Amino acid sequence: THTWVDMMNLYAQGKAVVLMPSAINGYAALSSTQDENVKKYTKFMLTPFGPGKKRINSYWTFSLGINKFSKHKEAAWRVLTFLTGKESMEAFAERTGWPNVTMRSVLYSYPLIKRYGIDQIELNEKSILENDPIYFPYIPELDLFMDQIGTKASEVVAGKKTADEALSELQKWAMDLMKERGYYG
């Protein structure tokens, strides 16, 4: 399995030891697990360094905006201001128990410190500050790569292919795609 939901569910069931690189899965798993061992023994760490001497992380977010054709821009602005304001962020953090918030003041709020301890909250902030926010190549083919990588990994985990077979197929597929799209001659 390779979707974030699959990873979260396996972790919540106590069937996965490490979730990497998407830390939000760990927080979601902690919120949904019935396994007391998962709740008791889960800790978060900085990810290891990759080949480029940078930590391997996967941060994501979503953006909110107002369509220029909206007939109710002011009302939409009020809704967005409310949703992204400190009170809403605090309510989200308190309700979910997730320290994935956009405001430092909310990250260091009492409910999160009480749940995780100051060391884990500081580690969370450090992991964000140490990383380049642009970690994926912004190319139109990115979703194709992510799908193929996940599919090949799933085939290996399911025993349908060896790792070498999957990597060889993935390499050929990637080279063919990049040539087809004009990246390579």
Q: Is the pLDDT of residue 17 over 80?
A: no
Higher-scoring residue by pLDDT: 15, 17: 15
If you average pLDDT over residues 75-99, what whole number do you get?
Answer: 87
pLDDT of residue 135: 61
As a whole number of angstroms, the distance between CA 153 and CA 163 comes to 8
Sorted by sequence, the CB contacts under 8 Å of residue 45 that are 6+ apart come out as 123
| CB-based contact 21:47 (threshold 8 Å) | yes
If you average pLDDT over residues 162-177, what whole number do you get?
Answer: 96
Give the whole-number percent of the chain exceeding pLDDT 70.
Answer: 88
Classify 49 as helix, strand or coil: strand
Q: Is the pLDDT of residue 117 over 80?
A: yes
If you average pLDDT over residues 143-159, what whole number do you get?
Answer: 89
Residue that is written with structure tokens 């999957």 in the block:
166
Domain ranges of the chain: 4-41, 73-118, 142-180
Q: Is the pLDDT of residue 61 over 70?
A: no
| CB-based contact 170:149 (threshold 8 Å) | yes
Task: Please report, for residues 40, 65, 78, 80, 81, the alpha-carbon distance to residue 70 in angstroms, rounded to integers and kept in the order given.
Answer: 48, 11, 13, 14, 16
Classify 55 as helix, strand or coil: strand
If you average pLDDT over residues 104-113, what whole number do you get?
Answer: 86
| Average pLDDT over the chain, rounded to an integer | 83
> DSSP letter at 102?
S
Which range of 41-50, 92-101, 150-159, 166-175 scores highest in mean pLDDT? It is 166-175
User: Which pTM value belongs to this model?
Assistant: 0.58
Sorted by sequence, the CB contacts under 8 Å of residue 11 that are 6+ apart come out as 19, 25, 26, 29, 33, 38
Higher-scoring residue by pLDDT: 138, 116: 116
If you average pLDDT over residues 85-106, what whole number do you get?
Answer: 83
As a whole number of angstroms, the distance between CA 8 and CA 96 comes to 14
| CB-based contact 12:88 (threshold 8 Å) | no
| CB-based contact 99:24 (threshold 8 Å) | no
pLDDT of residue 1: 46
If you average pLDDT over residues 43-59, what whole number do you get?
Answer: 74
